[in-house]
Amino acid sequence: MTAVGGRLAGKVALVTGAGQGIGRGVALALAKESASVVVAARTTGAVEKVAAELAELGAAALPVACDVGERSQVDAAVARAVERFGRLDVLVNNAQSSGQQRVVDVTDDDVALCWRSGPMGTLYAMQAALPHLRAAGGGSIVNFGSSAATDGEPGFGAYAMAKEAIRGLSRVAAREWGRYGIRVNVVLPNALSPSAERYAHEHPERFAAMAAALPLGRVGDPELDIGRAVVALAADDLAYLTGQTLRLTGGG
């Protein structure tokens, strides 16, 4: 159930890539702390379904179809959020298209797909949100990186490029926008996303071994492990943290 007078009461959050997986988990966690949540993703049916889940919890939710790789659609999503709720306090940039290729096999198209949906989409949303975050007297931006990039995991060449670009952008924005009371941090999640679920179904023994090898012995939950950490970043719990990368990887 949504917390009455939760830590984010009166706050408005926009979450990209919120139609499934980690984005959905983040949206649920924010809603349960009384935030109004704009659920944004490319697929209309997916965002409407998640928004309905939030509404059942008693939260105010707005579904918005948005391809983050298109600046005009991102601008429109932010404008709709402010039109509906009157403000914007939290931006969570989770959307990211990806693929797996060895570096030697990476093509221009592979890079373009990851780049457009990741760094460019994140930049568009941050730029669109800035005046509204300033008007609100500050706020929190949470961008998503990946341990596949920081650890240099083989097979993730284009994806790693995109994710490290997001981290660089976040550090610069944290320094430039701190004067406005805007905090910018990055989360590296290890959670049961749709792709992880597919892998678990197709390779159950490998997945079980991978999870067992983590110090905490399990893959993270999108809402309980990732979403609640985003809540802490969005609330006052970590009000002095900015420009940092938080590894939510179970110790891996």
Which pLDDT tens digit goes with each residue over 43-64? 999 999 999 999 999 999 999 9
Cβ–Cβ < 8 Å for 160, 98: no
List 124, 159, 199, 240, catalytic entry: 159
Q: Which residues pair with 140 in a beta bridge?
A: 90, 183
CATH class in words for 12-248: alpha beta
The two tokens of residue 175 are 């320094």
CA angle, 223 as apex, 220 and 227 as ends, to 5°?
A: 100
| 222 phi and psi angles, rounded to 5 deg | -55, -40
% of the chain beyond a pLDDT of 90: 87
pLDDT for residue 100: 86
Collapsed DSSP state (helix, strand, coil) of residue 96: coil
Establish whether 240 is a catalytic residue: no
pLDDT in tens, 211-245: 899 999 999 999 999 999 999 999 999 999 999 99
